[in-house]
Amino acid sequence: MDLKAAFQMCVFLSEFPMIQAVIFDFGRVISAQKPESLFRSYEHELGLPCGTINTIMFESAAWQEALLGRKTTAGFWMAIGPQLGLNAPGQIEDFRRRYHADERINPHVLDLMGRLFGTYKLAVCSNSPPGLVQWLAEWEIDHLFDVVFCSGDEAIVKPDPAAYLATVTRLGVKPFETVFVDDALENVAAASAQGLRAIHFTDGPALEKDLAAILSLPKHGSAAPKRTTAP
């Protein structure tokens, strides 16, 4: 290796210091944020006041119990159904299926994960009801991840430091060798406090820029999932 090549290699290593793994949040990162118009359509059909469905669903005691694994996903929906104006089990199940079917993979994040796959270890660390790995399998992206940390399966909810440390440990890397991506600022701050290189997710293009600044981002992916919508 000549001096110029050696210098370029030193610059490369200094720009991308020892990053071995990337951890992604699931909701509103891998799974795209639903448009406000969709929530308004839910509210209109259910007869709910505008701007209330997310409060009813995700600020509820039932949701917190699901995130800790004290309720199954089905149990959450049965508990929350009457608050949405749905009393019959069939009505609740029909709306659950529709709500789930409206979920979409963020295409830019999908591309980035495919590009990172095979070069870096990948993981999901998410506050989700039990069974997130089945959702990833339905979307045919479970093969991308070395570790899936789901709060509902672990009874540990971010920003508890134990969630980040367990994910890093299972990946077999150190916190400073790891990039963590989340849309919630409190989760980003907590990960950073544990020594991870934390990125606040806003959108796909910004994430690509942030990743390229701290690791070697391949131009093309070695694996791409097939499905981009919920079954």
Cβ burial of 115 (10 Å; 0-12, 13-18, 19+) is buried
pLDDT of 5 above 60: no
196 forms beta bridges with none
Least reliable range by pLDDT among 53-57, 139-143, 160-164, 227-231 = 227-231
Mean pLDDT of 77-106: 97
Instruction: Name residues whose C-beta falls within 8 Å of residue 222's C-beta, 6 or more positions apart in sequence.
Output: 114, 117, 118, 119
Name the pLDDT band for 220 (thresholds 50, 70, 90). confident
pLDDT of residue 29: 98
- CA-CA distance, 158 to 150, in Å (whole number)? 10
Tens of pLDDT along 17-51?
A: 599 999 999 999 999 999 999 999 999 999 999 99
Mean pLDDT of 169-181: 98
pLDDT of 1 above 90: no
Q: What is the mean pLDDT of the chain?
A: 91
Q: In the numeric block, which tokens belong to residue 33?
A: 């944020």
pLDDT of 6 above 50: no
pLDDT of 14 above 60: no
pLDDT of 9 above 50: no
Report pTM. Answer: 0.89
pLDDT of residue 184: 98
Mean pLDDT of 94-118: 97
Residue 50, classed as helix, strand or coil, is coil
